[in-house]
Amino acid sequence: MPKARAELVSVSDTPFYHVISRCVRRTFLCGQDRATGRCYEHRRGWIEERIRLLGSG
């Protein structure tokens, strides 16, 4: 049975987390995708803002 993240993660023991650089089907979150040549750098600000918002609560 799944457990809530609050039960699985101890913030006092693990205060830092790695955010992945790509998602499903090798779709990049930000930066230059070498396979397709497309640039997703415009997403970086959105991601940073969302992480800060979620981290402040």
Question: What stretches of the chain show up as alpha helix (H) in DSSP?
Answer: 5-8, 43-55
pLDDT tens digits for 30-43?
A: 888 888 899 989 98
pLDDT greater at residue 12 or residue 38: 38
Task: Supply 1's token pair.
Answer: 């049975």
Q: What is the pLDDT of residue 42?
A: 92
Give the separation between CA 22 and CA 36, rounded to whole angstroms: 13
Closest C-alpha among 44, 22, 43 to residue 33: 22
pLDDT greater at residue 17 or residue 46: 46
